[in-house]
A and B are shown apart, each in its own frame.
Chain A
Amino acid sequence: GPKVLQIPSHQIIDMGQMVTLNCDPVSNHLYFYWYKQILGQQMEFLVNFYNGKVMEKSKLFKDQFSVERPDGSYFTLKIQPTALEDSAVYFCASSLARTGGNERLFFGHGTKLSVL
């Protein structure tokens, strides 16, 4: 079936550095999402993105976070600067449409971010 690929699977960085998490969504999908899961906690919505713009974001999407998908390439989540509390697994997802909130999302395997 359709696959969402996330690169890398694990990233270790020092606090204060910048990090970019990459996501290769399903090829014909138009809507993109990032979710965050801290160890032992629920997966939580960060942001959704369509047509080059952030459509909706949660309070977890801090000012240090940004997303983009330049020219149909990777959908990226950038954190600059990183903080210890950013350590988590970040899941990318994509969907074909946004039909009233019942659209099927396709998720990647996640990128585990460790901020030291």
Chain B
Amino acid sequence: GDSVTQTEGPVTVSESESLIINCTYSATSIAYPNLFWYVRYPGEGLQLLLKVITAGQKGSSRGFEATYNKETTSFHLQKASVQESDSAVYYCALGGSAGNKLTFGIGTRVLVRP
């Protein structure tokens, strides 16, 4: 079946440092997978951070970037300089079925120290 593997947390970084959360995927049931990063901030529901539906393309939002790499089946999330408000749980997800079914990674908790 389809699966997503991502960096295990918690990941602790200091404000203004860089952050990378690794994500690799295996899509056995989807010919052209779509890739997503969702985020859950403290006290809020899960929300879309960014998505990329074409291999080779890069998505970006709120200073975060992720490139859809079909060769390495990866979709790593990066930010050059984090802020305390980036403290959250980040989920990599795989989609692309007609029914919008998403396969999630386990989530990576990120703690940004002031």
In the complex, per-residue mask of A63-82: 1 if CB is within 8 Å of any chain B CB, else 0: 00000000000000000000
Does B63 interact with chain A (Cβ within 8 Å)?
A: no
* A3 to B, closest residue via Cβ: B45
Interface residue from A31, A42, A110 paired with B100 (Cβ < 8 Å) = A31
Does B103 interact with chain A (Cβ within 8 Å)?
A: yes
Neighbouring A residues of B100 by C-beta, 8 Å: 31, 33, 48, 95, 98, 101, 103, 105
Distance, CA A103 to CA B44, complexed state (A): 20
Does A90 interact with chain B (Cβ within 8 Å)?
A: no
Does A10 interact with chain B (Cβ within 8 Å)?
A: no
Interface residue from A3, A41, A105, A110 paired with B48 (Cβ < 8 Å) = A105
Distance, CA A108 to CA B40, complexed state (A): 11
The answer on a CB contact under 8 Å between A45 and B101 is yes
**Given A4-B45, A41-B106, A42-B104; A104-B98 close (CB under 8 Å):** no
**Given A56-B101, A101-B98; A42-B45 close (CB under 8 Å):** no
Shortest beta-carbon distance from B24 to chain A in Å: 14
Neighbouring B residues of A3 by C-beta, 8 Å: 45
Distance, CA A110 to CA B89, complexed state (A): 15
The answer on a CB contact under 8 Å between B51 and A104 is yes
Distance, CA A33 to CA B102, complexed state (A): 10
**Given A41-B106, A42-B106, A101-B34; A106-B96 close (CB under 8 Å):** no
Interface residue from A43, A48, A102 paired with B104 (Cβ < 8 Å) = A43
Distance, CA A43 to CA B47, complexed state (A): 14
Neighbouring B residues of A109 by C-beta, 8 Å: 44-45
The answer on a CB contact under 8 Å between A104 and B48 is yes
In the complex, per-residue mask of A23-66: 1 if CB is within 8 Å of any chain B CB, else 0: 00000000101010000011111001000000110100000000
The answer on a CB contact under 8 Å between B102 and A45 is yes
B residues with CB within 8 A of A? 4, 30, 34, 38, 44-48, 51, 53, 91, 95-107
